[in-house]
Structure 1
């Protein structure tokens, strides 16, 4: 797909109204000529080559405006109705602005947004000088996405008074003193205020283009330079840098984690909590101070070419603001993001007197190093290659069954979804793809024999999307294994990335990339996962809210559709086992206190979601806390089987609200909370493993089905 595109036209005169700003405005941002050109070129592609072409007209213009405003002020805390009325006067002019390469409308709106942020946070800080009366019975509407914008500044002031009062009350309920609360909230609002002065033109353009592309269809995106680089990293699972996870804390870029084997960890010169105050390039380049600099900009400075030198000015973790600094030199190297790669664990599941070994493969994404593969690198990294290696290792561990955990796997490479499926079904159709012209192509895997032929289960949730759904659907259609979990996301579309600079024949990157929907995929049974997702064979409870997360939550999602089934032969008939599997699952979880606790937690979470207001009365809030603590203690009594419980109030400390944001806690406390959450018992994974064990037992006990499971003696690719 290529079009001829000559020199782009110069910036044309087009004068939308300038929205009024106060004298104390933050820096006014203006569009760059190359951004206007990139928007125009994107519009040409989207209107001509998208799977569902939508003309750039007044109707689409109004949708873009609506999404742009929602992106800036999703809960309607910043703008007032007069702002919105003024903005909407230009709602049908966005299309003309893009075609004329003039983006002053969205940039003018953003400048007003910045001013409203400054105004509201300045007002919030002023409220900290007073005391609040928590004996008054009043509510705070903390969920306002469907509420009207405040009609006046006075109404906005009242809304923010309640917002600040709620922030104060949360800290008060957590045991903080008034002085500590004032200090914490003043720093919080000040940090948010400072961010309003750090926005750049690229930020505005990215938000605007997101509003444009998603107004056409939910999975069409625009990638500026930064977003494009991060996308490439997520697919390669590698970058060139120092191997440190960084976090912004009180204006300092702080080291949160040192990655094993990276230059930072191997140097022995850095520790968690150290603060980077300056960055220099090369052995003798000047060191630029980065205190107060945006985290993404500091990251750009630290990353660079392999084997090049970066120098860091470090303020040690245990030093005060005036402590002694040290400068260290590190040689950049390729960093593998192994935490985001496929990994294996082995679960031992007891079933009566027998113990079954379940090999669990967790796959966070369908990654593939496209560039390395294109260059012919025989050792290029990909999800299917890593899983094939893990399967070989699990066989040596003599595991009995395999469970693939695809929870929160949002997809990735279509080719990897096909190759991964082939590891379990061998040669044959995997997915069907229909392009904008209506042509249907059947995508197949050519692996002569599967790498694993034993009992299989796939665990999914609402966050399992796209490539994950292709894999789960194919496993289900082939009858190859049991699908367990929540109904999946429902993304049944295929995207391609268009390099706009290549199209425009730019010698240097200027325009970015367009991730555009070009096809829809269908299951081999003829249906699609679009909108409806993959329905599990055995459903488990989950955290997600289908009303706000998933394809069905989008107002412009493509509809469900159907094509002719592909020519394929099922491998097994798991459906015949489902009534028994369901009965065994139901009986087991009724006796499992951990599972029942999880169900209760989900019910509590659902009830909390349905609440759109919260009391600002201290007594009412303390009563709610006491009721929650009582539920926790009663469950502990049931769990320990003694009926006496444990009176230690710290037993559920990780779930108690401390009123703090992550960067307001000490780094050690924040890391401890994160570690506790990760180490919490995974009741859904355990139950999925038990269901898989039941599947294996039933297959072994049914001659017809057992005969369809060949001996596991083949090797994968």
Structure 2
């Protein structure tokens, strides 16, 4: 039994917005007989096969209709209240229509949306071709998120919204430095996703282009008109299969975020992805309005090895090879973006990205990654020894990096006694570290998105002497118990597990079991929170990925939604509102089942307060930890401030400069404390952020290395506690 990594469920095959879908001229798009049958099969599977009870009634119809509205027009920018009222019957009748495969009415609703979308793009193009004179003075502001706003009463109300959006797009381009006459500047203020931070003006000391000129009004109008023409061309290519996917995924997505209808073409791509034979960069992507955002990186993949791409970065353009044209992917459907990024092993791809931490969306960065395949060797566990001093004495702690729970299934099924697996590799690394006389071991599972369930079970068995590891409850309420059946342990000394928000599925099962057994400390951040199991089944047309079961810890607590809470928490720059199960719509709830009987190996929770106090003392004196805390506070502050953007050029500059000054001051404060040279601009800090460590430190950034080092210190505190005995306690379970 294997686990789907959470990012993989929303990655290459996530549902994309219809503003990104490619349409069939002015002809109405109609359902097919294959689509009608697929609808009947999907709804029957949801009703009788999903983990959660699904009742097909008016309430469910309302959820599906609202979900479809969000997928089509999340920012309430195309449809009016009257448009939606015309199809009010779908709010109560959609369940019956989908059950019977009667899709004509819902296709008609989509066709209305398609008309509104095409008309709006044509409206924008017409205004731009008339060479509008944008006035960047005055006090106008533009709201950045209208998801919860009322629907517009009229087209004239939407016209005013789009007038300001177009003005914002022009202002953003006017403030962005031009690269050359034949290299397009990417407009990052796209149609449905208005930039949430102010644009940065070109440095007056730096020429904007080869001729030292800012971009002209004429060129701005042409750039935007070309962009909207390109998007209109893609929209007009939308076909019946695209619409069917939206309708059926509105249905599946109204129950949980991991159930999904896969069209025949997407199903084939999913099979390739699950076999890890896809040649590309090893980045899992998801739709973020009209942006494509990096959800996570495949451990050992080209993107992770390069150190240049990070979770929550947004991709705005893709170029093939060293000199291929940069193609804007803003507003492009997700599977099209993936096709542009894919390519033969050894070839190069250039990505223009908005870094996750960027406070200035016009200052994009172009990176280059060499495509490759991901093999077991790339994901293999590795180890190192970190030395630290206590009162003049040297102490040694081992760190084992576990990027994924992998196994060579083919070799295993063929009976090869030397088959490769994460558990076997970790066992060998433990022996190596024991020979080096380490006083404790830190298992680093940051970024570990999961893998094979059997590996999570067997790896727990390296640290306990037989016992249960996880409970799996199916839709009928039947609970299966999985665990380690091998006698003996590979290591019974002080242990810690380091996790972060990207640790998911199997890594959450492992961390939860170690915590429940009292076998070690859990350090870092709250994990992803994906505690559900999906199965993939064939339909007469396409495939269905359906949530069929749920994971529970041996303590009875689900790993769903809440994940695993660390015993000692570290600050994090990953926004839990953007990454994690709780950030997904209709995530299934956290709950409990009956705990099972299991042996307690220790009571580390008794020492957490004492260990946390020592950690706080070190963290207050650690510039990197102080930086992380303040940076997280700044991110929250900026998000609260940026609910609107100014359409006044000078005000826009002032807002940007104020935020950039705070970021720069914080970074230079960290540098001074570390004895590093200060930097002049925030752009310099972003450039340097790409310069990660060497291979001996697993290419960790200084911030990541600080978390590793502090985990070593905490574990050493734990190991040196008077009377701390591992592996002998028979005490009561953790409260």
Q: What TM bracket, shorter-length normalisation?
A: 0.7 to 0.9
Q: Is the 8 A contact 2:322 2:349 kept in 1?
A: no
Q: Secondary structure at the match of 1:458?
A: strand
Q: 1: distance between equivalents of 2:398 and 2:409?
A: 32
Report SS of the residue matched to 1:703.
coil
Q: CA deviation at 1:578?
A: 0.9
Q: Deviation string for 1:256-307 (max 9, x for gaps)?
A: x9979xxxxxxxxx99335599xxxxxxxxxxxxxxx94556789x79xxxx
CA RMSD of aligned residues (A): 4.2
* Secondary structure class of the residue paired with 1:475: helix
SS at match of 1:143: coil
> Could you tell me whether the CA contact under 8 Å between 1:577 and 1:695 is conserved in 2?
no
Residues 637 and 533 from structure 1, CA distance in 2 versus in 1: closer, same or farther, beyond 3 angstroms?
closer
Q: Distance in 2 between matches of 1:703 and 1:644?
A: 39
**Aligned 8 A contact 1:347 1:358 in 2:** yes
1:623 corresponds to which of 651, 654, 659:
654
1:539 aligns with 2:569: yes
8 Å CA contact 2:397–2:716 kept in 1: the answer is: no
The answer to whether the 8 A contact 1:362-1:404 is kept is yes
1:178 equivalent in alignment to 2:215: yes
8 Å contact 1:359–1:400 — kept in the other structure?
A: no
Aligned to 1:290: none
Residue number among 688, 695, 699 corresponding to 2:715 in the alignment: 695
Distance 2:250 2:383 in 1: 41
C-alpha contact 2:321 2:349 (8 A) present in aligned 1: no
- Contact preservation (8 Å) 1:637, 1:644: no
Most deviating of 396-405 and 118-127? 396-405
CA distance in 1 between partners of 2:448 and 2:282 (Å): 24
Q: Which moved more, 1:672-681 or 1:26-35?
A: 672-681
Greater CA drift, 443-452 or 141-150: 443-452
Distance 1:647 1:551 in 2: 38
User: 2:683 maps to which residue?
Assistant: 652
For 1:298 and 1:640, the matched residues in 2 are separated by 39
Query: How far apart, CA to CA, are the structure 1 residues paired with 2:339 and 2:520?
Result: 46
CA distance, structure 2, for counterparts of residue 594 and residue 643 of structure 1: 9
Displacement after TM superposition at 1:695 (Å): 1.8
Q: What is the aligned partner in structure 2 of residue 600 from structure 1?
A: 630
Match of 2:483 among 444, 461, 472: 444
Per-residue CA deviation, residues 575-612 of structure 1 (Å, 9 max, x unaligned), is 12211220121111111222212222211211232342
For residues 57 and 370 of structure 1, the distance between their equivalents in structure 2, rounded to whole angstroms, comes to 44
Question: Residue 497 of structure 1 is aligned with which of 512, 532, 536?
Answer: 536
Counterpart check, 1:482 vs 2:521: yes
> 1:36 — aligned with what?
36
Report if the CA contact (8 A) 1:523-1:529 is conserved. yes
Say whether the 8 Å CA contact 1:634–1:645 is kept in structure 2.
no
Deviations 1:18-45 (A, max 9, x none): xxxxx99556433332222122112222
Aligned to 1:635: 666
Native 8 Å contact 1:349 1:355 kept in 2: yes
What displacement does 1:533 show? Answer: 2.6
Task: Give the corresponding residue for 1:56.
Answer: 56
| Cα shift at 1:337 | 4.6
Following superposition, the deviation at residue 70 of structure 1 comes to 0.7
Instruction: Specify the alignment match of 2:546 in structure 1.
Output: 516
1:182-581 equivalences in 2 (<5 Å)? 182-239=221-278, 272-273=321-322, 275=324, 294=336, 335-337=373-375, 341-344=379-382, 346=384, 348=386, 350-352=388-390, 354=394, 356=396, 358-363=398-403, 365-366=404-405, 383-384=422-423, 387-388=426-427, 401-500=440-539, 510-547=540-577, 550-552=580-582, 556-581=586-611
Partner-residue secondary structure (3-state), 2:725: helix
Stretch of structure 1 that moved more, 198-207 or 211-220: 198-207
The range that moved more, 515-524 or 138-147, is 515-524
Q: CA deviation at 1:620?
A: 2.3
- If the length of structure 1 is used for normalisation, what is the TM-score? 0.73
The answer for the alignment partner of 1:80 in structure 2 is 80
Equivalent residue for 1:159?
161
Cα offset for 1:141? 0.6
- Alpha-carbon contact 1:125-1:189 (below 8 Å) kept: yes
User: Separation in 2 of the partners of 1:683 and 1:298?
Assistant: 32
1:355 Cα deviation from its structure 2 partner: 6.2
Q: Where does the alignment leave 5 or more consecutive residues of structure 2 unmatched?
A: 1-22, 176-199, 203-207, 209-213, 286-299, 304-318, 327-334, 352-370, 694-698, 730-735
Q: Deviations over 1:182-231 (max 9, x none)?
A: 45434433433333134343332222222111222333222333443444
* Partners of 2:457 and 2:483 within 8 A in 1: yes
8 Å CA contact 2:573, 2:628 repeated in 1: no
Larger mean Cα displacement after TM superposition, 101-110 or 550-559: 550-559
1:361 and 1:402 in contact (8 A); partners too? no
In structure 1, the partner of 2:7 is none
**Separation in structure 2 between the aligned mates of residue 407 and residue 60 of structure 1, nearest angstrom:** 38
> Which deviates further from its counterpart, 338-347 or 444-453?
338-347
Residue in structure 2 matching 1:149, options 151, 163, 166: 151
Distance 1:152 1:452 in 2: 69
1:443-498 deviation digits (Å, cap 9, x = unpaired): 11223334444433223333433333211110111122211222233333333323
For the 8 Å contact 1:432–1:442, the answer to whether it is kept is yes
Taking the aligned partners of 2:30 and 2:434, their CA distance within structure 1 comes to 60
Change (3 A) 1:639 1:535: closer
> How much has 1:406 moved relative to structure 2?
3.6
Query: Against the structure 1 CA distance between its residues 437 and 707, is the aligned structure 2 distance closer, same or farther, given a 3 Å change threshold?
Result: closer
Q: Secondary structure at the match of 1:563?
A: coil
Change (3 A) 1:644 1:400: closer
Distance 1:216 1:452, change over 3 A: same
| Secondary structure of residue in 2 paired with 1:87 | coil
- Residue 657 (structure 2) pairs with residue 589 (structure 1): no
Taking a change above 3 Å as real, the CA distance of residues 294 and 29 of structure 1, as seen in their structure-2 partners, is farther
In 2: Cα distance, 1:546 partner to 1:649 partner: 31
- 1:640 and 1:462 map into 2 onto residues whose CA distance is 26
Shift of 1:538: 0.7
Contact 1:64 1:212 in 2 (8 A): yes
Structure 2 equivalent of residue 16 of structure 1:
none
**Residues 82, 151 of structure 1: 8 Å contact kept:** yes
TM superposition score normalised by structure 2: 0.71
The alpha carbon displacement at 1:138 in A equals 1.7
Q: Deviations over 1:506-553 (max 9, x none)?
A: xxxx53332222233221112222343322101122244445654445
Deviates more, 1:403-412 or 1:427-436: 403-412
CA contact (8 A) 1:236 1:369 kept: no
Q: Secondary structure in 1 aligned to 2:144?
A: coil
Partners of 2:632 and 2:222 lie apart in 1 by 35
Q: 1:358 to 1:617 in 2, by over 3 A?
A: farther
Query: Is the 8 Å Cα contact of residues 222 and 515 (structure 1) preserved in structure 2?
Result: yes
Structure 2 Cα separation of the partners of residues 340 and 94 of structure 1: 47
Q: Give how far 1:646 is off.
A: 6.7
Deviation, 1:67, is 0.7
